[in-house]
Structure 1
């Protein structure tokens, strides 16, 4: 494993919640603190299906990486906002299909980096960068020689764009997606999904809670049409955009009346035009 860090890497702060550690708790992990568990408790009051959604999202990540490696022939993956390593990470899924597949994880959460030092140390085809995902030029420079940027890459933005606020500059999520798409070779793929809700009270309540508990390290719960805008520079794959539970499922998804009605993980796969 290669590990790249920058001066912006922070110490682990156990006095405020972390979205990555909250996600870990929702998946049944142990890499979290009481402040994260308390934040999850408050989050579940606003959006009771959150734990179910975290698992649905993780299942989608496994399926989409497996599909990209097996069906699309992708052997390079760039995972933005990777979160804490858990069972069946991107490199594990991809390398089961393609043993030589290379995976770069990008995350600036210090606990993610600390965990990566121990869990990925013996895997020479993984790289971990302690960068803000919006520093696209730095990421490109740091991965030169590890990734072949002249060949197709799958760039993953799975359940992470809701952590980024809307801005009027190049840090805006839509601008970030456009910039990364412009760096990738034709025929590359981008996987983009985020939490959305049709209920204004859920959007506002979750956004405010997460803004408070993470002390500003949060963006916004959006609507489906806003996620569609992220795909403007891409050719959307035939499956389209959807609740990710319906994206090439391994088994029959639950009927609509048994699904969450507070929020869902919405998105899909786009291809960089040839």
Structure 2
């Protein structure tokens, strides 16, 4: 049942199912969650009282990555599939401040995200909203707007953030999906991604309890990835070193990526996410010479 203090439900929203975007919004201090997401949030906070910080770290990483890509890598075309809503300092705000001629294409399938994005983007020059399922690459790559965006040799950035822990087994191997997007992109393109890991594997670990709770909740999804699985998914990419200078690149906890980069309004003091025995690792990586023919 909808209550007076909840946002209206767009057509197509399932009231019996929690939405990942609304869960993200809840942990970032937003107001778009329904009672079903609040119930899940209470369960997850009982397991990890500081879980909000994980989502904040991931959001801050994404803002810094967008600064890096626009200001240092000169990327002007962004194809974004992120689990959350436009929030506080939006991605298109960051990108368009650095390059007013940039284009931003948000890819979403959830009715609430689509409605929110369309309202937000209505007056934003260079912004587009694409209704497609990011876990089914053919629906994305054959969309007319995406086809036009990828048609020439201008590098793009795929933002694939906060989604992999919630891919249904029916979609197949996440590594194969990542490769399909990498191979469709022009040489010199970038990928921004994040992965939920379990630093202390075991049925009683904090990370495992979190994903088990999500999987058996109204959200219905949740999993972690091992370092080997992440390496397999990114084996056709050149990973940008976390401090932009060293020669030992690799996924790192979100708050460690470009620590000296621009901060966001929701950023807090960097901390050791190991205290939660759970870590979301993140990376920015560059495509190697065009993979589509391999």
TM range (shorter): 0.7 to 0.9
Deviation at 1:229, TM superposition (A): 2.3
Is the aligned partner of 1:157 residue 2:167?
no
Which among 237, 243, 254 is matched to residue 253 of structure 2? 243
Check the 8 A contact 2:207/2:277 in 1, yes or no.
no
Q: Secondary structure at the match of 1:144?
A: helix
Please give the residue correspondences for 1:139-158 in structure 2 after superposition, counting only pairs within 5 Å: 139-142=140-143, 143-146=146-149, 148-158=151-161
Structure 2 residue runs of 5 or longer lacking an equivalent are 1-9, 243-248, 290-294
Deviation at 1:98, TM superposition (A): 0.5
What does the per-residue CA deviation read over 1:176-200, in whole Å, with 9 as the maximum and x for residues that have no partner? 1111111001110111112212233
Match of 2:234 in 1: 231
Match of 1:132 in 2: 133
- Classify 1:31/1:270 alpha carbon distance in 2 versus 1 (closer, same or farther; 3 Å): same
Check the 8 A contact 2:17/2:36 in 1, yes or no.
yes
Match of 1:262 in 2: 277
TM-score between the two structures when normalised by the length of structure 2: 0.82
Match of 1:3 in 2: none
Is the aligned partner of 1:271 residue 2:286?
yes
Match of 1:4 in 2: none
Match of 2:100 in 1: 99
What does the per-residue CA deviation read over 1:65-101, in whole Å, with 9 as the maximum and x for residues that have no partner? 1100100000011112342221222211111101111
Match of 1:6 in 2: none
Match of 2:40 in 1: 39
TM-score between the two structures when normalised by the length of structure 1: 0.87
Check the 8 A contact 2:18/2:37 in 1, yes or no.
yes
Q: Whole-Å Cα distance in 1 between the matches of residues 29 and 134 of structure 2?
A: 26
Q: Whole-Å Cα distance in 1 between the matches of residues 11 and 228 of structure 2?
A: 34
Is the aligned partner of 1:117 residue 2:126?
no
What is the aligned residue count? 262
Q: Secondary structure at the match of 2:276?
A: coil
Structure 1 residue runs of 5 or longer lacking an equivalent are 1-8
Q: Whole-Å Cα distance in 1 between the matches of residues 48 and 227 of structure 2?
A: 17
Q: Secondary structure at the match of 2:142?
A: helix
Match of 2:175 in 1: 174
Aligned Cα root-mean-square deviation (Å)? 2.3
Instruction: Name which of structure 1's ranges 102-111 and 78-87 shifts more when overlaid on structure 2.
Output: 78-87
Please give the residue correspondences for 1:183-222 in structure 2 after superposition, counting only pairs within 5 Å: 183-199=184-200, 200=202, 201-216=205-220, 218-222=221-225
